[in-house]
Amino acid sequence: MRSRAGAGYVAVALVAAPVVAGVLYSAAAAAGFAGAGAAGFDASRIVRVLRDGETWRSVGWTLYTASAATLLAVSAALATSVAVQGSRVGRWLATLPLAVPYVAAGLAGVLLLGQSGLLSRLAFAGGVIESPSQFPALVYDRPGIALILAFAWKEFPFLVLTAFAVLDTRGGQLADTARTLGASGRETLRRITLPLLWRGIAPATIAGFAYLVGQYEVAILLAPSDPQPLSVLTYERAGDPDLSRRGEAHVLGLIAMLACAGLVVAHERSRRHAVDDGPGA
């Protein structure tokens, strides 16, 4: 047992080591001790980023689009997993977008939702609009409609696959027990299936959200130039010709990491409270 525990700690350490090293290097680069333009301690990079209104517009817009896409994907995953649980074809179709690269999803968003895209041309051909330019601006728009839809479409199969696994391992047995005890189908769905699914896919939801916060390919293809997604802003700062400003990219990266880490901490605290409250929580 001790050897297994030791092996487990080694595995965890190997997984965590790149994260710890990355955080330490970013902190050193943000403070002027490492990276391009490093010349000893200098807090100017940190101060510039924290005082820059563009930073907080970018952070707010990025968190908004990632949250909206995740909420949409979670809702669709919960509904779909319950609806097609027993259908092999339904399961296959639901998880099919997993095979599509993110950059392809971004290009599909441009081709489908742009004002010169497929949907605008169909609307024009059907007489809904008088010219393709009258089609609503869904790409490069401040509300981020196309970006949110593309993010949700790519996050959905990952979440629904997790939901299928949860239902296959525990959902059926618990639902059958509830119906045996007299619960109606609606009560079973509300009291057993949906809470079980949410607890099961919550870690995957956090992982998906964190990925969307740092996602670059779809963002550069579909997002507006003002405000910029945090990933795009970070990339631009990392390639700034002024070497003294490249450390700002590390500050932005640390901000993104802290936002996602806060969500992980909140989930762990809620999970511990649920365990402390007992199995019926």
pLDDT in single tens digits along all 281 residues of the chain: 566 666 777 888 888 888 888 888 888 888 888 877 777 787 888 898 999 999 999 999 999 999 999 999 999 999 998 888 778 898 899 989 988 999 999 999 999 998 888 888 888 888 888 887 788 888 998 999 999 999 999 999 999 999 988 888 765 565 555 556 555 556 666 667 777 888 888 889 998 999 999 999 999 999 998 899 999 999 999 888 888 788 889 999 999 999 888 888 887 777 666 545 544 43
pLDDT of residue 280: 41
Dist. CA 267–CA 203, nearest whole Å: 8
Q: Which residues of 216-235 are buried (b: 16+ CB within 10 A; e: fewer)?
A: bbbbebbbbeebbbbbbbbb
Dist. CA 86–CA 6, nearest whole Å: 41
CA 126 centroid distance within chain? 36
State the Rg of the chain over Cα.
Answer: 23
Residues 6+ apart with CB under 8 A from 149: 69, 72, 109, 113
Dist. CA 58–CA 54, nearest whole Å: 6
| Structural domains in the chain plus CATH codes | 2-276 (1.10.3720.10)
Evaluate whether 59 touches 230 at the Cβ level (below 8 Å): yes
pLDDT of residue 274: 54
Dist. CA 91–CA 162, nearest whole Å: 11
Q: pTM for the complete prediction? A: 0.85
Torsion, Cα of 162, 109, 222, 220 (10° steps)? 70
Residue type, 262: G
DSSP 19: H
pLDDT of residue 269: 76
Evaluate whether 65 touches 148 at the Cβ level (below 8 Å): yes
**Nearest-5° Cα angle at 155, 150 to 157:** 115
